[in-house]
Amino acid sequence: MRRPWIGGNWKMHKTIGEALELARALKAGLPAADSVEVVVAPPYTALKVVADELRGAAVQLAAQNIHWADQGAYTGEISPVMVRDTGCRQVIIGHSERRQWFGETDELINKKIGACLNHDLEPVFCVGETLEEREAGRVEEVLTRQVREGLRGFNRGEAARGVIAYEPVWAIGTGKTATPETAQQVHSFIRDLLAGLYDKTVASAKRIVYGGSMTPETARGLITQPDIDGGLIGGASLKAESFLAIVKECI
Ligand code: PEP
């Protein structure tokens, strides 16, 4: 049985005060059941205060990105050591916005996953095709490349760490949620890919979550699919009410 995973990606939203307010509301409204792993990814500036606020609550903290090196002359970057220091245990890696706006390649993403593993941080490894790629019938080719290159060089124990987030780029922030059938098809494909790259044990234990305009209304249909193990939520994670409603759909 794979424990459902629900993560909130706050992106470049929330000042420190706003982040604290949201963290408090989440803490107050979180269901008592711990059958779902709940994770929030605030912006760097709010990581420490949110970690302090959520101490003792059943919510894990994630960073939205890291640099691959432990330290060095990389102006403007944040290292895995630094995010761990704030209380983070997970990191979103290779989000499509990082790929699109900051030129992140499969090779760079592979290095960042390696940095996570070296620092006992669980990667939330994002993959997904663009609309153009889907329309050209290239979904399987693109996902094969992203998964294989992202995990290149990692052994089965390392590949088992963290979660994979399937986030079709055309569904992110657009309100165009993938249908449960479309998402299930891709999740099943990714699981088969893992079985081919590693083995069936790794593939069947790995949590593969869906991301792309998931809402309280669309969550249940998606997460009840056999290969969908939760969700990475953007817009709907910015309000406690909608994020908690999605968490409750997983219980
Ligand atoms: C995301 O950015 O990871 C995401 C899924 O965003 P949204 O839910 O807003 O589509």
Spell out the domain ranges in the chain. 5-239
Catalytic position from the list 104, 122, 129, 167 = 167
Ligand 1 contact, 234 CB (< 6 A) = yes
Spatial CB neighbours of 9, under 8 Å, sequence gap ≥ 6: 41, 64, 92, 95, 211, 232, 233, 234, 237
Q: Does domain 5-239 have CATH number 3.20.20.70?
A: yes
| Residue matched to tokens 């499509």 | 96
- Cα(44) to centroid(ligand 1), Å: 18
Atom of ligand 1 nearest to the CA of 167: 5
- Cα(128) to centroid(ligand 1), Å: 12
d(C-alpha 235, C-alpha 55), whole Å: 24
Tens-level pLDDT at each residue, the chain (251 residues): 899 999 999 999 999 999 999 999 999 999 888 899 999 999 999 999 999 999 999 999 999 999 999 999 999 999 999 999 999 999 999 999 999 999 999 999 999 999 999 999 999 999 999 999 999 999 999 999 999 999 999 999 999 999 999 999 999 999 999 999 999 999 999 999 999 999 999 999 999 999 999 999 999 999 999 999 999 999 999 999 999 999 999 98
Answer whether 0.95 is exceeded by the pTM. yes
> Does 104 participate in catalysis according to the annotation?
no
Spatial CB neighbours of 75, under 8 Å, sequence gap ≥ 6: none
Tens digit of pLDDT for each residue in 25-77? 999 999 888 899 999 999 999 999 999 999 999 999 999 999 999 999 999 99
Closest residue (by CA) to atom 8 of ligand 1?
234
Closest residue (by CA) to atom 6 of ligand 1?
234
Spatial CB neighbours of 4, under 8 Å, sequence gap ≥ 6: 35, 36, 37, 207, 223, 229, 230, 250
